[in-house]
Amino acid sequence: MKRIPIVCYCILLLATVAQAKPTVVREAASDFTRPHFQVSRPPVNNKTQPDRVMHADLSTFADEAWILPVRSAHLSPGQITPRALNMPGLRPFFLVGEDPQSLAWLRQRAAELQKIGAAGLAVEVTDAEALARIRAAAPDITILPVNGNDIAARLEIEHYPVLITATSLEQ
């Protein structure tokens, strides 16, 4: 009977010593791992100009359906009271929806909006077709779908369409 506990004790003692050693991954790839990690480092491009400003054209996404529908609970179509703003350096932008009033406003003011370089934010859009209708009303202007609740709260507005510039808020 005393042999069984001694055998068990020896097996437990040997089990702790007989465990496999942990594998250490080195920084430099060996000949064995080199073919598997060839793409781990991006290629060096010496032709870039780090001091040059890069602009992304966000209107050219292949598929914007992932962000739709866009709903802005604090905004609705309607009339606004024009007022002066003091926001130096603000690039002109406008808020619109897919409603008939917004589409008519866009068609009427498209040339002016393009001339001043205004960017558009579609704050009420149900689907990709509605976004396409909004963009068709002003084809040469970038219009992106975004939630307008923060803008509405900061500028204290409740309705769209609206044009916001550094000096004014108007319809």
User: What is the mean predicted confidence (pLDDT) over 86-113?
Assistant: 96
List of residues 6+ apart from 166 with CB closer than 8 A: 85, 86, 87, 88, 89, 90, 92
**In the prediction, which pLDDT does 153 show?**
94
For 41, other C-beta atoms within 10 Å of its C-beta total 7
For 2-37, write each residue's pLDDT tens digit. Answer: 555 666 665 665 555 555 566 665 555 555 555 555
Contact 133, 101 (CB under 8 A): no
- Banded model confidence at residue 89, pLDDT cuts 50, 70, 90: very high
**CATH class of the domain whose range is 65-170:** alpha beta
User: What is the mean predicted confidence (pLDDT) over 136-145?
Assistant: 94
Q: What is the dihedral of CA 164, 169, 170, 171, to 10 degrees?
A: 50
With a cut of 60, say whether residue 66 has pLDDT above it: yes
In this prediction the pTM is 0.64
With a cut of 80, say whether residue 90 has pLDDT above it: yes
User: What is the mean predicted confidence (pLDDT) over 80-107?
Assistant: 96
Domain coordinates in residue numbering, the chain = 65-170
With a cut of 60, say whether residue 45 has pLDDT above it: no
Count the helices and strands in the chain (H runs, E runs).
4, 8
With a cut of 90, say whether residue 44 has pLDDT above it: no
Q: What is the DSSP string of 34-63?
A: GGGGGGGSPPP-TT--TTS-----GGG-S-
